[in-house]
Structure 1
């Protein structure tokens, strides 16, 4: 193949108790990207639609991630990239990760898959470094592996893939305000109390156990954040009301998606997830703040070849 069109999924990072180490991929929310081989070396960003983002490769996360792959590839040519951005920058659902992961996954496919998914994560992390100043993997890992991913270690990079329980559905509301990841990280404390750490470790272990055993009650009990949410939630209008009404509508748990401002909830069925979406809508309609609302199953495959209905741009 000389050209490929891919779907690059949005992601929910942290998932309350797993700051910087836990994430999941969404199934129906994401960007579209066309990647083509070219004789000229390097990366060329041909087009970015949907948002006003840099087309210079060294200033675009897809370009930076792609260049990281090219440095390790046995390939004398280059690639052109066209991006249709559906995920707004600063949304908290992995906009930069979708571009970074999509670029390296597509390039790897066109080169005959010389790199493993773990290696692709390392390349995509360079795009995240450009976006936030930190090469974190909690968004790019699920974008590339699908399902849930746990980053057990960053040095060396050790990623555990967890298949999602079949009945789990996500609801995400994205208020139309922007919170940059780099800014959101600056307000976090650099130390925590032992008491809060013990609570957080217990919840993270409980969540992982609940995912493996498909124990939805355990999943719900574990979706608590005692460290980051109390600080970041003050940046999100109506957060407490969103969480309260989501839980009352039947959500297993609710929290901040990534660095915000998006707020996510996990539910045991599509019907409940839609009820949660209606509850979130009620809260934000009263606030008078514009928003996007998504209901999606957990994406099992991560980045993938776009379906005919999705591949609607040249």
Structure 2
């Protein structure tokens, strides 16, 4: 690409997908940030504007800046890039706000440089931004954003990502209650050890979910969308969670759980009509408890980032 500037769509993501804590994630197609990235003669990364949210402009305090600098250092690139960010994913929402910025910076820079880096390398750079945001260099949001579709992070160190093509009729519904839960805070309340029995139960669900996705077996997907380890702890931070989950299932969802660290709640459904009905049911619970929220229905985004201009 010989362009000096690029405008891109940076997708929101759902991480964990119930039983896949820190290893599973998927990209959404109907909600995301926008970013303009342009070449500049001076070295480094300059965050020139952020609209939609009050976030740090300093390069070393911004996830896009940190990820971009990691990439430039690896490439030994002597010039730099200016970045404008339009935030449409609220920080602390649980649908990959920091990942969209960190991964968007490196994906866009890679396009402007003629794609010298692989998707694998881009994930590694973006993980540096995630480390700034949450204290750990996890890839469960940045990987699906960059690879598209659904991803399984078999290992973070060394990085090993497996891309999974989503079943053709799989749709995601997400409701975002207007409360903020920081990823770093939600990690602090988690147990650091689990029982062998809980581990076996979770591994069985994770393996079956991956098999169900590959086989497009919606019944198996539904049976496998269970989290017995993380959800019981984090759900206490989300008002109305149990009623929202039961409402989604009653409306036809295959399964329902916490998106990332919350407070967003996701449901997976077979077919768009069912996903829309699930959205109404989930929103209805939040309306009853008078909690403002956003609701999204999306196919699984198989492309990840896309160029807008």
Partner Cα separation in structure 2 for residue 75 and residue 65 of structure 1: 14
Residue in 2 aligned with 1:275? 277
Residue in 1 aligned with 2:259? 257
Q: 1:197 aligns with which of 192, 199, 210?
A: 199
| Mapping of residues 285-300 of structure 1, within 5 Å | 285-300=287-302
| Mapping of residues 88-167 of structure 1, within 5 Å | 88-167=90-169
Aligned residues: 307
Deviation at 1:28, TM superposition (A): 1.2
Deviations 1:161-197 (A, max 9, x none): 0011110000000000000000000000000001100
- The answer to whether the aligner puts 1:82 opposite 2:84 as a matched pair is yes
3-state DSSP of counterpart to 1:141: helix
Deviations 1:82-107 (A, max 9, x none): 00000000000000000001100000
Residue in 2 aligned with 1:14? 16
Deviation at 1:304, TM superposition (A): 1.4
Deviations 1:185-243 (A, max 9, x none): 00000000011000100000000000000000000100000100000000000000000
Aligned CA-pair RMSD: 0.7
Deviation at 1:286, TM superposition (A): 0.5
Deviation at 1:21, TM superposition (A): 0.4
Partner Cα separation in structure 1 for residue 78 and residue 157 of structure 2: 30
3-state DSSP of counterpart to 2:222: helix
Partner Cα separation in structure 2 for residue 263 and residue 189 of structure 1: 21
3-state DSSP of counterpart to 1:142: helix
Partner Cα separation in structure 2 for residue 133 and residue 79 of structure 1: 25
Q: TM-score, normalized by length of structure 2? A: 0.99
**Runs of 4+ with >2 A deviation:** none
Q: 2:67 aligns with which of 59, 65, 72?
A: 65
